[in-house]
């Protein structure tokens, strides 16, 4: 990051890699409204001001520094390459139960090559809290331990041209993750909490595409469990999802959340109040040993 990309500013003038976004206002926007997927994004920021990460932000939150400048040196020569800091996006209405947060790693050159300190590269991605803890531990202690291997887990739902392909995609995510159950730090007790505790209402991405939740289900899920404010009920039992060779890869169930308080949640649509409903799609692989390792996609519906 330092020697290849940032040094190229000094060596090549204004040239910049095509895979980088150029955005001088990334610090004043909600990242869920800017980025089209949860994969890491690299952003070239110019100009950078002293306010960024301290007093700037947007209506729904702001970036705040959680790891101050760390000196980056070349492993072989010991030459100083630059500095790195870590920021976290703190939303005004963060979903209480959801375990992922937008995190930014910000890189800049020493003042020798960047006198005004106004060119930075930011790597922005969604991380689980355990991943953030590992990241900070590595930042402060120079630990070489790798982060937990969860980068293949998708955060938002997808909408492909063929809905059957959506199911195949989610099953592939489960298969690629390995193991017969999810690690506890990526799971949410989706069946026993109100969906509004998991979904940030200001996150447009989750509103449009749905939010992916990882759960290790029990036999009670969708039958006798629930919370004080309502419960999920099965609307469609197991629907098979087929491979290209017409073999059954896994199954999909559809749930609807039934509110105890019927008039509690409304959306404003075209100036009118519309009662909000919640739909959840649950995906699992066909193998018996993995039947309780599920990927759930919560979507907001209206009626």
Answer with the residue of higher pLDDT: 93 or 159.
Answer: 159
**pLDDT band, residue 6 (cuts 50/70/90):** low
Q: How confident is the model at residue 288 (pLDDT cuts 50, 70, 90)?
A: very high
Report the predicted TM-score, pTM, of the whole model to 2 decimal places.
0.74
Stretch among 9-13, 268-272, 286-290 having the lowest mean pLDDT: 9-13
Query: What does the pLDDT read at residue 52?
Result: 55
Residue 268 pLDDT more than 70? no
CA atoms within 13 A on the CB side of 131: 19
Cα gap 292→215, rounded to integer Å:
8
pLDDT higher than threshold 60 for residue 199: yes
What band does 31 get if pLDDT is binned at 50, 70 and 90? confident
Summary mean pLDDT of the chain: 79
Output 132 or 141, whichever has higher pLDDT: 132
Provide the pLDDT confidence category of residue 149 given band limits of 50, 70 and 90: low
Lowest mean pLDDT among 36-40, 138-142, 172-176, 289-293: 36-40
Q: What is the model's pLDDT at position 208?
A: 82
- Tokens 């404010």 identify what position? 229
Q: Report how far residue 144's alpha carbon sits from residue 185's, in angstroms, rounded to the nearest whole number.
A: 21
| 48: pLDDT strictly greater than 80 | no
What is residue 135's predicted lDDT score, i.e. its pLDDT? 85
Greatest mean pLDDT range, 126-135, 136-145, 206-215 = 206-215
Lowest mean pLDDT among 157-161, 197-201, 265-269: 265-269
pLDDT for residue 72 = 85
The pLDDT of 210-235, averaged and rounded, is: 84
pLDDT at 4 over 70: no
Number of other CB atoms surrounding residue 151 within 10 Å: 13
Predicted local distance difference test score (pLDDT) of residue 109:
80
Is the confidence at residue 30, as pLDDT, over 60?
yes
d(CA 303, CA 286): 33
């Amino acid at each position: 990051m330092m020697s290849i990309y940032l040094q190229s500013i000094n060596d090549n003038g204004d040239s910049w890699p095509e895979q980088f976004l150029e955005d001088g206002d990334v610090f004043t926007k909600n990242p869920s409204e800017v980025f089209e997927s949860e994969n890491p994004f690299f952003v070239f920021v110019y100009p950078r001001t002293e306010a960024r990460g301290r007093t700037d932000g947007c209506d729904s939150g702001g970036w705040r520094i959680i790891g101050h400048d760390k000196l980056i040196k070349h492993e072989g020569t010991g030459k100083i390459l630059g500095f790195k800091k870590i920021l976290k996006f703190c939303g005004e209405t963060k979903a209480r139960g959801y375990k992922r947060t937008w995190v930014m790693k910000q890189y800049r050159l020493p003042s020798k090559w960047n006198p005004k300190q106004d060119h930075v590269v930011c790597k922005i991605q969604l991380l689980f809290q355990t991943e953030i803890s590992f990241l900070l531990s590595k930042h402060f202690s120079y630990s070489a331990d790798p982060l937990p291997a969860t980068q293949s887990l998708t955060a938002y739902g997808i909408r492909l041209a063929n809905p059957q392909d959506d199911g195949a995609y989610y099953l592939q995510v489960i298969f690629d993750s390995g193991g017969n159950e999810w690690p506890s730090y990526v799971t949410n007790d989706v069946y026993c909490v109100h969906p509004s505790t998991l979904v940030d209402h200001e996150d447009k991405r989750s509103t449009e595409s749905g939010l992916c939740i990882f759960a290790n289900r029990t036999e009670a899920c969708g039958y006798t469990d629930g919370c004080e404010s309502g419960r999920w009920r099965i609307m469609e039992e197991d629907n098979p999802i087929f491979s290209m060779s017409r073999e059954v890869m896994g199954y999909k169930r559809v749930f609807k959340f039934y509110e105890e308080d019927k008039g509690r949640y409304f959306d404003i649509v075209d100036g009118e109040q519309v009662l909000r409903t919640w739909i959840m799609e649950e995906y699992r692989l066909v193998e018996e040993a993995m039947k309780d390792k599920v990927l759930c996609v919560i979507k907001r519906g209206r009626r």
